[in-house]
Structure 1
Amino acid sequence: MTNIMAFSLTKIEVQDLQAAERFYTGALGLEVRGRVEFGEGERLMHELILGVPGSRPPAPSFILISYPNKACPAPGEATVGFMVEDMEAAMDKAIAAGATIEIPPIDVPEHGLRLAFLLDPQGHRIELLQQLKG
């Protein structure tokens, strides 16, 4: 039996790494923590390591990965969730940056949350969560 100590990261594969970086840093406010490039041919890989501003390891990372010499899988392979302070403001900013609404905000009082689902400009699913007051 393996004991998981902490959640570490989420990776999604994107076709256009620069466009994805602009979206996740501009619309959602993540900051760049690092870049990795290695391999060659079909195994050439670029990673962009992002995180929540002010957080430091071992806080989880969100990583965008691109293989420029092979086809990108269809979006929808993962859902990435972010806690936000203001659902409407976060959605407005994401939509202005090219996101589309998949499921508009709904309250889930039994879990104390308001949630919504967006698709980023490349079709990846994002879940926004806001704690309900009271």
Structure 2
Amino acid sequence: MTAISKTKFGFTKLIVNDEEAMADYYCNVYGLNKIQRVQTDDSGAGGAIREVILGHGDTMAGETLVMFKFLNRTPPVEQEVILGFITDDLDALAQRVIDHGGKHVDAIKSMPEHGVRVLFTTDPEGRLSENVELIAS
């Protein structure tokens, strides 16, 4: 078996229709910051793109979430990814989702046998997120 060089998780890219509006949503709901914007006609991903890179700091030193827009094609219609967020206050996050145009899929579920409270939400373009608050068992 060939050894794999050490790697770490770096980023997730959501293919969106409106990268600025979606960046605002994720910043307002999850407390992320807009770190950098990229626009190029030759992205290596099949054409022109724009993206807004989000993170918890003000540099790209940690994991990032990227709002990625193909300029010459529409985003996928089917759910391609479920984002997972961990929060200390699920009730406050649930309100921010509503305040910024997202929706709750169902009510908050308490799952003490798994040590969590869970709320699935959708962003304004319909992408699914699973939001988890860790609870003492």
Q: Give the TM-score normalised by structure 2.
A: 0.85
Please tell me the root mean square deviation across aligned C-alpha atoms, in Å: 2.1
Return the alpha-carbon distance in structure 1 between the equivalents of residues 82 and 34 of structure 2.
20
Q: Specify every segment of 5 or more residues in structure 2 that has no aligned partner in the other structure, as ranges.
A: none
Q: Does 2:87 correspond to 1:73?
A: no
Q: Label 1:117 to 1:19 Cα distance change in 2 as closer, same or farther (>3 A).
A: same
> Is the contact made by 2:33 and 2:58 (CA closer than 8 Å) also made in structure 1?
no
* Matching of residue 88 in structure 1 with residue 78 in structure 2: no
Change in CA separation of 1:4 and 1:110 when aligned onto 2, cut-off 3 Å? farther
Q: CA deviation at 1:108?
A: 2.5
Q: 2:111 aligns with which of 108, 126, 130?
A: 108
- Distance in 1 (CA, whole Å) between partners of 2:19 and 2:69 is 6
Letter in 1 for 2:102: A
Tell me the matched-pair count: 132
Q: Which residue of 1 aligns with 2:23?
A: 21
Q: CA deviation at 1:75?
A: 4.8
Shift of 1:4: 5.4
Of stretches 11-20 and 24-33 in structure 1, the one that deviates more from structure 2 is 24-33
Cα pair 1:102 1:117 within 8 Å, conserved: yes
Amino acid at match of 1:64: M
Return the letter of the residue paired with 2:48.
L
1:33-72 aligned at under 5 Å gives the runs 33-39=35-41, 43-53=47-57, 57=61, 59-72=62-75
What is the aligned-residue identity percentage? Answer: 26
SS in 1 for 2:30: coil
Q: 1:44 to 1:54 in 2, by over 3 A?
A: closer
SS of the residue corresponding to residue 107 of structure 2 reads strand
Q: What is the identity, as a one-letter code, of the residue corresponding to 1:117?
A: F
Name the larger-Rg structure. 2
Contact (CA 8 Å) 1:118, 1:125: kept in 2 or not? yes
Q: Give the drift of 1:128.
A: 0.7
